[in-house]
Amino acid sequence: MNPHFEITDTTLINAVFDNAEYGTLAVCANNRPYAVPINFVRVGEVLYFHGAQKNKKMQILANNPYTSFSVVENHALIDSDFSSTEGLACPATQFFKSVSIDGVVEMVESRAEKAQALEALMRKLQPKGGYKPLSDEAYDKALKSTAVYRLVPESVTCKFKFGQHLSEERFEMIVRHLEERGIEVDLRTVEEMHRYRKVI
C-alpha cells in the first residue's frame, strides 16, 4: 500500500465501520471463493453479523472459519480532466475510505450475547428506537432460530485515498473542479482532501 494512503488511527478506522450499512464477507470452500454483502455492527474490537442457521455462508463458515471482510465508503469520482490537461484517461480515479479485516469467525452461543449483538445492530440501523429491547422474552424464539457470529480480527488494514500523494498543483486543480461541479459528495470530498492533506 502507498504509505500516503495508509491509516492506522483506530478512531478513524472505527468510524468507517460505524458509518457503513453493510460490508462484504469473503469465505472459501474447496478452493472456491464466495463473497456476500452483509449487515454488521461493531462492538468494541469485534464485528457481529447474523443470518439463517442453514445457508451457504453458514455452511462454509462451519468448515472454514477464516475470512476476509471489507468495507468501502465512496467519495467523489475524479474525472480524468480534473487533474490533467493531456486528454488521457489514466488520471481518472475514485476517492474513498476502505478497511479490510482478516480474521476468524466464531458462532455466538449464548442468548445474552446474541441479544447484545442484535441490539447494537438495531441501534445502528434504527437509531430512532421504537422497538422492545432484545432482552425481552418476546424474542426468545427468534433468537433461538437466528445464527449470530462474531468476527475476531487478526489483522486490519485501512486506506484513505484523497490525493495525499499529489503535487500541490494537481491537488488544487482537483479541488477547483470538485467545487465547480459542486454536488454534495464533491464538497464533502474537498473537506476530506484538506483534512488528510494536513494529517499525513
Q: What is the mean pLDDT of residues 61-74?
A: 95
- DSSP for residue 30: T
Residue that is written with C-alpha cell 455466538 in the block: 108
Q: Which of 80, 70, 63, 96 is nearest to 163 (CA)?
A: 96
pLDDT at 1 over 90: no
Share of the chain above pLDDT 70, in %: 99
Local confidence band at 55 (pLDDT 50, 70, 90 cut-offs) = confident
* Arithmetic mean of pLDDT, 111-128: 95
